[in-house]
Amino acid sequence: MTTAVYPGSFDPITLGHLDVARRARGLFDEVILAVGANSSKSYLFDSRQRLDLARLALQEAGVGGLRAEPMDGLLVDFCAEHGAAAIVKGLRGGADFDVEQPMALMNRHLSGVETVFLLADPALAHVASSLVKDVARHAGRIDDLVPAHVAAALASRAAPASTPAPTKEI
């Protein structure tokens, strides 16, 4: 059985992430979404919430052989622990490749594990977690960018703060 690891912070998981996961599953017997953290990022959802949102999204997707697991530490150590033959990364454009290439080379250098790049579906290439969160913060429509349960979680977490009523001067 061939296993691949699809790493990310998934803050939150989007329809673009799910598309890459489904297509990766067509190439590998099992795909594990490794829900990790990047120390240089700040998150809207904590690690447990991100994992729970990803697990429910995969369950609702109804595709066997996909699961989400928490990841701490180096990706290559996670891959070794789970017997992964490859790392999967989705690319929306050239800028993503510029960021991902050195990581792929370092992971191969450290462990021999190859990275497989999947191009984003053009209909979803504009979908990024950071943009989704920004739209949600401004009460914009995101129901066509994320699963329904993620949209609900974002609505409760990222809603703009209510503006206090102006005070009257006496």
170: pLDDT confidence band, cut at 50, 70 and 90? very low
- Give the pLDDT of residue 165: 45
Q: Is 129 one of the catalytic residues?
A: yes
Q: Is residue 62 part of a domain?
A: yes
- Give the pLDDT of residue 28: 98
Q: Is 149 one of the catalytic residues?
A: no
Q: Is 92 one of the catalytic residues?
A: yes
Mean local confidence (pLDDT), 17-36: 98
- Name the catalytic one among 25, 50, 89, 92: 92
Give the domain extent around 56: 3-122
| Tens digits of residue pLDDT in 84-122 | 999 999 999 999 999 999 999 999 999 999 999 999 999
Q: Is residue 166 part of a domain?
A: no
Q: H-type helices in 6-140, by residue range?
A: 15-25, 47-61, 75-81, 94-111, 129-137
- Name the catalytic one among 41, 48, 126, 138: 41
Q: Is residue 164 part of a domain?
A: no
Average pLDDT of the chain to the nearest whole number? 92
| Tens digits of residue pLDDT in 138-167 | 999 999 999 999 999 999 986 555 444 444
Give how many domains the chain has, as a whole number: 1
- Name the catalytic one among 25, 89, 129, 133: 129
pTM of the model: 0.90
Q: Is residue 15 part of a domain?
A: yes
Q: Is residue 162 part of a domain?
A: no
Give the SS3 label for residue 14. Answer: coil
- Give the pLDDT of residue 90: 97
**CATH code where residue 88 lies:** 3.40.50.620
Number of H helices, E strands in the chain: 6, 5
CA distance 132 to 68: 21
- Give the pLDDT of residue 39: 81
Tokens of 92: 């929306």
- Give the pLDDT of residue 116: 98
- Name the catalytic one among 17, 25, 50, 133: 17
Q: Is residue 75 part of a domain?
A: yes
Q: Is residue 66 part of a domain?
A: yes
- Give the pLDDT of residue 41: 84
pLDDT surpasses 80 at 19: yes
